[in-house]
Amino acid sequence: MYERDVLAGNWRRPLKGRIPQVPAELDLVVEDADGGFCGAVVACDKEAVTLEDRFGRRRVFPLDPAAFLLEGEVVTLVRPSSPGPRGPGRSASGSVAVEGLRARVARESRIYVEGVHDAALVEKIWGHDLRVEGVVVEYLEGVDHLPGIAAEFGPGPGRRLGVLVDHLVAGSKESRIAAQVASPHVLVVGHPFVDVWQAVKPAVLGIPAWPSVPRGLPWKEGVVAALGWALEPADAWRRILGSVTTYADLEPELLGPVEELIDFVTAPGEDR
């Protein structure tokens, strides 16, 4: 009765020639045919597409044939050949960009980061979002100053303090200092890296990994020397920062904490 065995071969995915190819335009909503993850396209290159679901979770999928469902139909996503008509633009953080933005009057709540490099990286990726929300970012000039800054700031209802700390791991000096400012109106989060430089993915800089620096040596100077860069640390940082364009260039261990801080200081009822 049948010309061929319908269960032979890869029966879940029809023959390639019968499957429509759909450009992975920004904000196109599709579903992963295998795992059921559903989200909007937020980024696409020649090999993979990034989807974001309604909870803000993101996953990266290869552009395999017949890998997605669009309105219930199996499709193959392809990289758009030209910009063409597009949905709302995206900021460097992946959020929907607000056109014609005028910065909101600053909230009383604040976000503090450890140093000027941390502040520059946060501004480059989340600057648009922070201006939309009216959040000012300042820096501690070292985590040792946190207790004094917190006391002077006076956190309270409508005046929250969010802090991003380098190398916030159990048992560290940073974790002990963070415990001193514990409060319902203070959130201290961190990343495991020795310095925020390490939050930039090595591949972005064309290196296989961040080098290990022996204890007792200045970390930034040790990194520059190990990489063979004939640069001062300040110039090396400008090179690193200049290589970063979107959230995809950063490690998840930094992305999550920064997003958590923004949510904390902009929570409903915390306007002023």
Same-domain check for residues 65 and 131: no
- Partners of 69 in the β-ladder: 31, 74
Number of domains in the chain: 2
Query: Is residue 134 included in any domain, yes or no?
Result: yes
Domain end call among 78, 94, 126:
78
With respect to residue 54, please indicate whether it lies within any of the assigned structural domains: yes
Say how far apart CA 14 and CA 157 lie, in whole Å: 58
Q: Verify that 253 and 132 share a domain, yes or no.
A: yes
Residue 173 lies in a domain: yes
- Which tens digits make up the pLDDT trace of 28-67? 888 888 888 888 888 888 888 888 876 677 888 889 898 8
Residues 56 and 172 both lie in one domain: no
What does the alpha-carbon distance between residue 17 and residue 3 come to, in Å, rounded to a whole number? Answer: 18
- Same domain assignment for residues 139 and 29: no
What's the pLDDT score for residue 15? 46
Confidence of residue 99 (pLDDT cuts 50, 70, 90): low
pLDDT band at 100 (very low <50, low <70, confident <90, very high): low
For residues 133 and 257, membership in a common domain is answered with: yes
- The half-sphere exposure of 193 on its side-chain side, counting CA atoms within 13 A, is 22
CA distance 76 to 170: 45
Distances (CA, A) of 267 to 83, 85, 141, 272: 35, 34, 27, 11
- Asked whether residue 237 is assigned to any structural domain, the reply reads no
Is 89 within a domain?
Answer: no
CATH code at position 187: 3.40.50
Are residue 60 and residue 156 in the same domain, yes or no? no
Looking at the fold, whether 30 and 124 belong to one and the same domain comes out as no
With b for 16 or more beta-carbon neighbours within 10 A and e for fewer, the 101-133 pattern comes to eeeeeebbbbbbbbeebbbbbbbbbbbbbbbbb
- Give the per-residue pLDDT at 16: 47
Question: What is the enclosing helix (H) or strand (E) of 124?
Answer: helix 116-133
**Same structural domain, 147 and 252:** yes
* Helix pair 116-133, 252-265: axis angle to 10 deg: 50
Top pLDDT among 101 and 12 is at 101
Instruction: Give backbone dihedrals phi and psi of 253, rounded to 5 degrees, phi first.
Output: -65, -15
pLDDT mean over 153-171: 90
Residue at token pair 């579903």? 31
What type of residue is 79? Answer: R
Report the candidate in 43, 199, 18, 25 with the shortest Cα–Cα distance to residue 113: 199
Helix (H, G, I), strand (E, B) or coil at 71: coil
49 found inside a domain:
yes
For residues 131 and 101, the answer to whether their CB atoms sit within 8 Å is yes
- Would you say the pTM of this structure is higher than 0.75? no
Q: Which helix (H) or strand (E) holds 188?
A: strand 186-190
CATH assignment of the domain containing 22:
2.30.30
The share of the chain scoring above pLDDT 90, in percent, equals: 45
Q: Report if residue 147 sits inside a domain.
A: yes
Q: Are residues 259 and 147 in the same domain?
A: yes
Q: Are residues 70 and 119 in the same domain?
A: no
- Paired strand residues for 52: 40, 58
Amino acid letter, 127: G
- Looking at the fold, whether 253 and 184 belong to one and the same domain comes out as yes
- Helix (H), strand (E) at residue 147: helix 146-153
Q: What is the pLDDT of residue 101?
A: 54
Closest CA to 261 of 117, 150, 116, 122: 122
Residue 168 belongs to some domain of the structure: yes
Domain membership of residue 158 as a residue range: 110-200+244-265
User: Of 118, 175, 177, nearest to 146 (Cα)?
Assistant: 177
